[in-house]
Amino acid sequence: MKLKKLILISLVILFILNTIIVSSQSTGLKEEKQITVLVMGFGPFLNYNVNPSELIAADLDGETICNAEIIGLHVLPNLSNFSESINIVYQAIDSINPDYIFSIGLAAKYENIRIEKVGFNLKSEIKNDSKLEKLIPNAPFLRISPFPSMRIFRELKKESISSQTSFFAGLSLCNGMLYSVLNYVDINNLDIKSGFIHVPLHKTEENPDAMDLQTMVNATRIIIKVCLEYFSCINC
């Protein structure tokens, strides 16, 4: 009889303990944060009436990649006043609070996709007759993108998409955007991964041998997937 009571009491205690453990595990579960990816593309500039980077951002806007929400952002490039264009991205960062920022620009003299790694604190604006100046006074000379450029290169190569890693994004607005966003993220202690991708001219009747726009869009999807897998441990 005493043994039966002891067994019964033990079972009751085990049941209560199990209930407490399950309850604590349930209440301790956190809702997964929706990952937001900002894809920025520039509008037309100089003699380029259509900018493929803008088309890529528009194409991906509203898409979901590996459960991450993609927001496309259009920025008019002001080559005489970089700050005007860069401030648009600052405002988007403050309002959207993205987890990733993929800035895309046109590098017309190249035929492949360039994964930019380094932004320099230098600018050459048209209004100053191409005189070299600092982008941001009292800021570091360079900023390095955390994007895994070699891993991105390998994944693009698997899909037969021509690309290369690059350590110089020029001294115009593309470099200005790369550096300024990396600097903004750092000085404001934001948990945002940011980088810059250069794309070539896209295929048109005037440029039949250029890279197809859809190839660029697919390449951007791959780049986003690689970064999500690398930083957020998402299995795409």
Q: Where in the sequence numbering do the catalytic residues fall?
A: 116, 174, 198
Closest CA to 122 of 62, 68, 82: 82
For 118-133, give one letter per residue: b (16+ CB within 10 A) or e.
bbbbbbbbeeeeeeee
Strand 36-42 to 100-106 pairing: parallel
Q: What is the CA radius of gyration of the chain?
A: 24
Strand 100-106 to 64-65 pairing: unpaired
Helices (H), the chain: 2-28, 52-60, 82-96, 149-158, 173-187, 213-232
CA–CA separation, 202 and 115 (whole Å): 17
